[in-house]
Amino acid sequence: MNPSSPATPADTALRSDDSIAKQLFLGNILEENLFPYPQIRARDREMLGAMTDAIDEFLADKAAALKQYDRDAEQPAEFIQALREMGLFGLIIPEQFGGMELSNGAYARVLGQTSSHDSSVSLTIGAHSSIGMKGLLLFGSDEQKQRYLPKLATGEMIAAFCLTESGAGSDAASIRTKATRNDDGSWTLSGEKIWITNGGIAGFYTVFARTDTPEGKLTAFIVEAAWPGVSHGPHEDKMGIRASSTTTVAFADVRVPAQNVLGPVGKGFKVAMSILNSGRTGLGGGAVGGMRTLIRLACAQAKERKQFGQPIAEYGLVREKIAQMTVDCFAAESAVWMVAHLIDAGGSDYSVEAAMSKVFASEAVQRASYEALQIAAGNGFMREFPYEQITRDTRILSIFEGTNEILRLYVALSGLKGVGAGLSELKAAVGDIFNEPIKGFGVLGSYTGRRMREATGYGIDRIAHELSPRLRKVAATYEKYTVELSKSSDALLRRYGKKAADMQYAQKRLADIAIDLFVGLCVLSRADALAKQSHPAADEAVSIAEVFARQARRRMARNVRGLERNEDAAIEQLAGAVLVHDGYLWDVI
């Protein structure tokens, strides 16, 4: 086990109400939540060693079968039963209900291990735990938990998350599935959900429907597949993750008892977002497991394949690919485990960090799949080798659980909200100076002090944690660009006000700066911890921290410049012209 895995709440003091990511937009590095890098709790370390060995033993023997499941687009019933018998449906369920009660960090590690063999296996397990029944853990009543968790822990009931509809993907407000409250307190549910993972094998659905009640417009329900009026369609024929079950799920005047409302009536949007936010560590863990496998395959291929009389591992452009895959994997792993720790340690504001880790990890594993396939060359394109399936399987990750485009906007708008609140307080403070001078000058002084520090460079937020000289230089990059992010956010809001909410190109640039900062700080913290532990690969970890910081600095500098000097207007005009003509503008004559 790697010593730098997520911690328990007791391992470190956490400012649980504060967000690392949101503070970056305000020019602050919340190092109390970043340093020292969290360690895995002893209980999970003991369990994980045995679990990962068992997973490897079980899945390694089924390599040929797993490939056939992908071609057949189905996991056989006996394979699902084997997953049940291994306890893989009870990973995060409390022990009192028959589960293993793994922390988020340990759970992400398990999904990383299953993903190193087959993504569809991880998806069947992950859709059950990360989102399918996560709402029951977060919002369920004691009675609901007693009734369902024991069956979910054994896999007698497999869970699925039913949110997406035709025309209602990221826009949950456009959901048309409807639930009407009856006189006896029960509900009548009607509608159809699409692309539901585990839809064809689940017995337990977390369903979101419009209720248009005085309490709110969207409500979550627990629905059993065996109830009259519940049905599912055939397995979807997918590009990747083909073996996992994906179907439509339909509800035709389904009677849902009052006691099966999940969370408060009318608060379904909060329930859905909480589930998705807390579930992203599983997806990130799966991406990391995939990258580890790709690096191992690429190394073996590069050493075995010879061209011009020597292994291609000796050529610079191949070595560059392997090194970059390693940098990306270490960085993704560092961020995913940090987010898991924030959740496990009782943090209440981690949704932006979860979104950042999902964006980074999902894109990193896709880059790795392309590079490993490229190193394999012609072999990579052939179905007898694993590369083409991994490439197909990873493509969904930037769409799953909130598209990366939506998540980037979420990151930016969440950060800008805090900056905007500060500007509003500043505006009010000017008036308060005459009415409540102490309060008014306090707000004004705080704001002007921050801006003076950023303008002069004196007194800006420095990382006080003791670092080696090499890592101290790395830290300076993040200190500088934390200031740049704060200044750029402030300038955007001052210049455009509320219109900034519609400026998606600018939001993407701010989000990418923030993502580089957060991921880079996680890398810095982990490299520092490994160096202080005298880990055998500590020097390589410090080198990764240096490489990532240099690459991030170039990206962040480009994004800061792009907020002022860009081709956004030309891009908008060109897109408009192409859309008007329904396609490419130049015919070949």
- From CA 340, how far away is CA 281, in angstroms rounded? 6
CA dihedral 240, 244, 250, 255 (to 10 degrees): -150
Lowest mean pLDDT, pick from 273-277, 356-360, 454-458: 454-458
Answer with the one of 214, 241, 270 that is the final residue of a domain. 270
Answer with the one of 154, 180, 197 that is the final residue of a domain. 154
357 within some domain: yes
Check pLDDT > 50 for residue 438. Answer: no
The CATH number of the domain holding residue 148 is 1.10.540.10
419 within some domain: no
Same domain, 260 and 282: no
Tens of pLDDT, residues 285-343: 999 999 999 999 999 999 999 999 999 999 999 999 999 999 999 999 999 999 999 99
Same domain, 354 and 477: no
Same domain, 309 and 189: no
Tens of pLDDT, residues 473-486: 999 999 999 999 99
Model confidence at 172, pLDDT cuts 50, 70, 90, reads low
Same domain, 76 and 164: no
60 within some domain: yes
Tens of pLDDT, residues 89-116: 999 999 999 999 999 999 999 999 999 9
Same domain, 265 and 278: no
Model confidence at 456, pLDDT cuts 50, 70, 90, reads low
Say how many domains are in the chain. Answer: 4
Same domain, 102 and 148: yes
Give the residue numbers annotated as catalytic, written as ranges: 401
197 within some domain: yes
Tens of pLDDT, residues 47-61: 898 899 999 999 999
Burial 265-280 (b: 16+ CB within 10 A, else e): bbbbbebbebbbbbbb
Answer with the one of 252, 270, 288 that is the final residue of a domain. 270
Same domain, 279 and 397: yes
Q: Is 248 exposed, middle or buried (0-12, 13-18, 19+ CB in 10 A)?
A: buried
Same domain, 293 and 254: no
Q: Are strands 159-162 and 204-213 parallel, antiparallel or unpaired?
A: parallel
Same domain, 332 and 401: yes
User: 509: which residues sit within 8 A by CB, 6+ positions away?
Assistant: 559, 560, 562, 563
What's the pLDDT at 279? Answer: 78
436 within some domain: no
- From CA 159, how far away is CA 149, in angstroms rounded? 10
Model confidence at 166, pLDDT cuts 50, 70, 90, reads confident
What's the pLDDT at 171? Answer: 67
pTM: 0.90
The CATH number of the domain holding residue 327 is 1.20.140.10
Same domain, 194 and 140: no
18 within some domain: no
Same domain, 182 and 60: no
96 within some domain: yes
Cβ proximity of 129 and 89 under 8 Å: yes
Tens of pLDDT, residues 8-28: 433 446 787 899 999 999 999
Same domain, 548 and 482: yes
Tens of pLDDT, residues 178-205: 999 999 999 999 999 999 999 999 999 9
- From CA 122, how far away is CA 49, in angstroms rounded? 18
Q: Which of 452, 514, 543 is nearest to 22 (CA)?
A: 514
240 within some domain: yes
Q: Which domain does 329 fall in, by range?
A: 273-406
